Structure 1
Amino acid sequence: MTRVSDSWTMIDLFAGCGGMTAGFQPLGFNPVLAVEWNLHAAATYAANFGEDHTVWGDINELPDDEIPEADVVIGGPPCQGFSNLGSRDVDDPRNKLWKQFLRVVERARPQVFVIENVERFRKSPDFQLLLNEADGGMIKDYQLTHGVLLAADYGVAQRRPRTIVIGSRIGEIPLPAPSHSKELALGLKPWNTVQSRIAGLPEHPDTTELPEARAEFFGEVVPGPFKWLDLHFGRQPQPKSLQRYDHIPPGGGRFNLPDELLPNCWRNKPTGTTDVMGRMRWDAPSLTIRTEFFKPEKGQYLHPQWDPEDPSNRVNRVITHLEAALLQDFPETFQWCGSKTEIARQIGNAVPVGLARAIAAHLRRYLK
């Protein structure tokens, strides 16, 4: 990756596979600590950014004296309790992990910290508690700026809204202004499209499996690391599934299916879940890439190629792990560790790299 002359130290908490670090590091942010509890995600992070500063373990057990000072602390505390797809349980213990984030901030004394979370985090009781901590609490020295940013507005070919909180003790820092727009706007580029990220890849993957590869991280042997076309593998859908796929045009979904191909669960639910069994469009960003993007019944994950006149010119499959990673804006050189399911979870849980990169570029203007 290209490096720049200015540099700052950085801590990445709840680092996952490293989506935020992948956006920050090329702009001069050097990670000195990363913490991730999932072995395969931590291994992926270590494969790309180094094992020496990566801690595989529970952040609750991270000793204070192992937290270095840093210029920036970034991270996305687990958000399943806040998510539209989660339990929405305000007492979910995962919702309390942002307090561990603040403990690290207290110890590391960064100039700036960035919290990334799901859109509805801002409407949760714990978000109000976070604001309270800036009013005489653990982060009383920090001014907070927060809002919901849409990844597509920052050059990512994906319509993924995320809550971003910037805390600064060097003066208030606004949220970064969009660089892209759905509509033509003065000074802004048009949204990037699915075509800009995945066009040109083989339409018909020649395997359904990952290669046989193993590596050791943290004293444990894990599958991988896997690169580029290693992740471009297909699945083996049933004949009825293929029939269903063939009826879905770009931008369409389950409502395009004839009655004889509707499962009872959809036949008895005439409204809602509009994006399931959906097909992407070449000329638009994708919808949110979730952790189960390989299941078409979970969202708009069918490959965008579909010719209305020529059935032979249709690609009737879900997107591959590689295509999902590219839509999350990971670079082609990124390496992955874990099983197919573990890697899918890493991809879906990651911060889009382009959004992280936009935030990093914005912070550079303010950091000392």
Structure 2
Amino acid sequence: MSDGSGPSVVDLFCGAGGLSEGLRQAGFCPKVGVDFDSHAAATYRHNHPGVPVIEKDISEVTGKEILDLAGVDHVDLIAGGPSCQGFSTHGKRMQDDPRNFLFEHFVRLVNELRPRMFLMENVKGMLTYNKGAFRRQIEAAFEEIGYRTNFAQVVAADYGVPQLRHRILFIGTCDDHLPLTFPNPTHGDVEKGLRPHVTVEEAIGDLPSIGQDFLQEYRAYRTAPRGPYQVYSRSNAPQKVSMHVGRPLSPQASKLAKFIGQGEGLRAVPVDHLPERFKRMRRISNGQLRRDCTTLYHRLSTERPAYTITCNYKNVASGPFLHPHEDRSISHREAARFMSFPDRYEFVGAAIPRQIGNAVPPLLARAVGEHLFEILRGDDQRDQHYHVA
């Protein structure tokens, strides 16, 4: 955890602050956050007191404004995740989505501030869309301003996050002496000496049942923390868990959920019990029933990590968000746990699912941040991997 003396970082497109939280845990000192979303900015301020937030369109933000607000004459790291949702594998891809080009302002501010390194996180779809043309465009833009780049495709679960979240990371530097490498995974195949992935049970097993009381804001924990992940989650947390609220399923979802066991989705429901529109989904062109899987109405398994937490985690019809034991969607706190936010981290304002679903998992940010910290200090002595995409 940073004591304020670590390398400085500016968090562009900071959202609710998951990237800053992880980098702070890694020893970096956040100086400024930038985001247009007022609700996310309020959450950032609440959890990062003393770090100013520029709350306006990134196109209007200048490097001088950032330096003046930060009270420094240089920045060690610029980090951020400019939205490229038009390339997301969740939902319809839209090549001309204007959000795809927010990275140009990221590049512009890197050029204006000239940090020693940058870190950019984004959806994995940009890696392969149009045979990688968009990725090459990003690399060329940084090369034009004098920054070498490297990229890696990572899975958050491989770094201790209880979620199978696939992302692409770009790093870059204008310093010819700094290596551009990524940290090796810490979790995965135990036969290779790695720790096992953190499971749903290990992530949320100490949280209480909701039952029919969906709106109670504060609840007693079900058990003492069990295992290192729950200990991490509850470090410096209040005595009662917050934001552990839910809502009842729709009548249709309730009927379907009765047939769905852990690790199963819509395909587990007998055809006779499916609404007509789902019966049509179950058949392929020759009229036979489909046998592949789907994550629609999927119930999480306690023995595996969660799937990607999106902004729609309150809607079980949209993805794998059925609670493993109760017939309900996951709560805000459970979603935050799957993203690796500590329980002390509070989300304020409205649009909480969007704040959580759009965040960078702090433990992924910490793993990458610890590695970048070593590179900046000149301590990069470990065996590392380069491209893993």
Q: Which residue of 2 aligns with 1:159?
A: 164
2:187 to 180, 189, 199: 180
Q: Which residue of 2 aligns with 1:357?
A: 366
C-alpha separation between the residues in 2 aligned to 1:80 and 1:5? 33
CA contact (8 A) 2:313 2:321 kept: yes
Say yes or no: does 1:20 pair with 2:32.
Answer: no
Say yes or no: does 1:301 pair with 2:306.
Answer: no
C-alpha separation between the residues in 2 aligned to 1:251 and 1:86? 22
Label 1:279 to 1:42 Cα distance change in 2 as closer, same or farther (>3 A): same
Q: Which residue of 1 aligns with 2:311?
A: 291
Residue type at the aligned position of 1:128: R
Alpha-carbon displacement from aligned partner over 1:2-49 (angstroms, at most 9, x marks no partner): 435860110001111011011001222111111011100010011111
- Deviation of 1:317 after TM superposition, in Å, equals 1.4
Give the CA RMSD over aligned residues: 2.1
Overall identity of the aligned pairs, in %: 34
Moved more, 105-114 or 45-54: 45-54
C-alpha separation between the residues in 2 aligned to 1:211 and 1:250? 27
Q: Which residue of 1 aligns with 2:37?
A: 38
CA contact (8 A) 1:248 1:257 kept: yes
CA contact (8 A) 1:4 1:26 kept: no
SS in 1 for 2:29: strand
TM-score (norm 2): 0.82
Say yes or no: does 1:325 pair with 2:332.
Answer: no
Residue type at the aligned position of 1:188: L
Say yes or no: does 1:199 pair with 2:210.
Answer: no
SS in 2 for 1:279: coil
- Deviation of 1:156 after TM superposition, in Å, equals 0.7
2:106 to 88, 101, 107: 101
C-alpha separation between the residues in 1 aligned to 2:75 and 2:347? 27
SS in 2 for 1:45: helix
C-alpha separation between the residues in 2 aligned to 1:36 and 1:205? 37
C-alpha separation between the residues in 2 aligned to 1:366 and 1:334? 29
Label 1:206 to 1:70 Cα distance change in 2 as closer, same or farther (>3 A): farther
TM-score (norm 1): 0.87
Higher strand share: 1
Count of aligned pairs between the two proteins: 339
C-alpha separation between the residues in 2 aligned to 1:175 and 1:11? 20
SS in 2 for 1:247: coil
Q: Which residue of 2 aligns with 1:312?
A: none
Label 1:207 to 1:13 Cα distance change in 2 as closer, same or farther (>3 A): farther
Moved more, 100-109 or 158-167: 100-109
Q: Which residue of 2 aligns with 1:29?
A: 28
CA contact (8 A) 1:240 1:261 kept: no
SS in 1 for 2:44: helix
CA contact (8 A) 1:14 1:35 kept: yes
- Deviation of 1:130 after TM superposition, in Å, equals 1.2
Q: How does 1:148-297 map to 2 (within 5 A)?
A: 148-170=153-175, 171-181=178-188, 183-204=189-210, 207-209=213-215, 229-270=241-282, 271=290, 274-297=294-317
C-alpha separation between the residues in 1 aligned to 2:140 and 2:247? 48
Q: Which residue of 2 aligns with 1:218?
A: none
SS in 2 for 1:146: strand
CA contact (8 A) 1:153 1:191 kept: yes
Unaligned runs of 5+ in 2: 68-73, 219-237, 283-289, 378-389
Alpha-carbon displacement from aligned partner over 1:194-249 (angstroms, at most 9, x marks no partner): 1111002111256434769xxxxxxxxxxxxxx87331112122344223212111
Label 1:343 to 1:273 Cα distance change in 2 as closer, same or farther (>3 A): farther
